[in-house]
């Protein structure tokens, strides 16, 4: 047996890696996904094209990793600011489902309104709508892992008797996550903390009267 | 007082109009919004560029009208097939809110899975994500009028005591409309009649137990 090589990340210069992520996110936000190239990212990051190809196989790979990193940075910042557990690992579970969901969705609203996040996210989401392969990769690697955190939280709520036993958590989470996503993506209406609080209340307690 | 001129629509040759709509929808589905041009639409429809500019001021105008027409055609077909009232005027109101919503959402699932509809709709939606002006026009002229039909139906349900008095219908409709939109747009999971039926049940009765 030989020693395992060090993981990719550790062989990369942290500074170059960050510069490449920043360049990729800025570029895709400015010119869109189709016009973003590995050459363009390299030029903007001040590295050679081969440096990028040594670590990633395509512009899609660079971007997906840059987004994962952006999410991790946001989670780290939120943790440091004391705004709950990092979103990438588990949702908070204080035993109060409504309060926990409201906290996380408020943080998501803040993230969606953050200009660093907005343009590149829109560019990638738009490409995913028409480019099925990238769309599926984007969902599998970025979106679905985040949605699974809601599944876990809703399962725990089911165990605690706070969600009806027959409810499918993977569908249930869409009642509050998807409205926010659609308002943001399609600009159908403004988003705010008050709005996501309302979504959580409606989803948990239903639109029909209690005696219906 | 002079006689009003005949409305635009009546002055257009129905055949040319249909050919232009078909060409515009097919082209945007194939090459995307940025590469769709009035010249390309004219060539494909077999009409002169000036014919298009006589009736519409831009490719965005042609496309928005082509989509409105597609929606009207679908509503007409649904009415002829006895699948309820046309979606463009009012949602069915049988007094059974759950049944009415399920009927309409099932028809929407069928429309979203219709290949004639899928490619052009994706192209326009993707462009709307990154192109704020087109996105807002798309929402104002196409999406919001459809959402307002849900507002009307939910208001009627409120009057009948089937929806809680404090609920804002414009937000409430998003609990079942947005999940379907997100699954379709972002391909997060498959869509089906069973799925939209479940959304309606969850939204009306809530995720929390009745005694919570």
Q: What percent of chain A has pLDDT over 90?
A: 57
**What pTM did the predictor assign?**
0.84
Could B139 and A186 be called an inter-chain contact, meaning their C-beta atoms sit closer than 8 Å?
A: yes
Lowest model confidence (mean pLDDT) among A48-52, B129-133, B199-203: B129-133
Q: Which structural domains are found in chain A, ordered by start? A: 58-205 (1.10.357.10)
Can you tell me the ipTM of this complex? 0.84
Residues 162-181 of B with CB under 8 A from A: 162-164, 167-168, 170-172, 174-175, 177-179, 181
Exposed/middle/buried for B68, CB within 10 Å: 0-12, 13-18, 19+? middle
For residue A13, pLDDT over 90 is answered with no
Closest to B205 measured CA to CA, from B173, B163, B143, B169:
B163
Q: Give yes or no for A55 touching B (CB within 8 A).
A: no
What token pair was written down for B171?
Answer: 């937000």
Average pLDDT over residues A200-211: 92
For residue A192, pLDDT over 70 is answered with yes
For residue A5, pLDDT over 80 is answered with no
Cα separation, A156 vs A149, whole angstroms: 11
Could B209 and A181 be called an inter-chain contact, meaning their C-beta atoms sit closer than 8 Å?
A: no
**Residue B170 — pLDDT band, cuts 50, 70, 90?**
very high
Farthest CA pair distance, chain B: 67
Q: A115-144, pLDDT tens digit by residue?
A: 888 888 888 888 888 888 889 988 998 899
Average pLDDT over residues B57-76: 84
């Amino acid at each position: 047996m030989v020693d395992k090589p060090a993981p990719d990340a550790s062989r990369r210069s942290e500074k170059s890696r960050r510069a490449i992520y920043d360049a990729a996110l800025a570029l895709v936000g400015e010119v869109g996904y189709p016009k973003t190239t590995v050459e363009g990212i390299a030029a903007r990051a001040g590295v050679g094209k081969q440096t990028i190809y040594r670590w990633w196989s395509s512009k899609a790979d660079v971007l997906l990793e840059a987004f994962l990193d952006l999410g991790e940075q946001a989670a780290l910042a939120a943790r440091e600011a004391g705004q709950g557990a990092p979103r990438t690992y588990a949702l908070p579970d204080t035993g109060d489902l409504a309060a926990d969901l409201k906290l996380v969705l408020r943080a998501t609203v803040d993230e969606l309104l953050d200009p660093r996040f907005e343009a590149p996210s829109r560019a990638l989401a738009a490409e995913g709508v028409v480019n099925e392969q990238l769309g599926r990769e984007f969902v599998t690697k970025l979106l679905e892992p985040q949605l699974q955190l809601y599944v876990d939280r809703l399962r725990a709520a089911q165990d605690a008797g706070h969600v009806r036993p027959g409810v499918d958590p993977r569908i249930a989470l869409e009642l509050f996550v998807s409205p926010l996503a659609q308002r943001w993506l399609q600009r159908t209406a403004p988003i705010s903390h008050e709005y996501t609080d309302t979504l959580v209340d409606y989803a948990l307690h239903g639109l029909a009267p209690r005696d219906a």
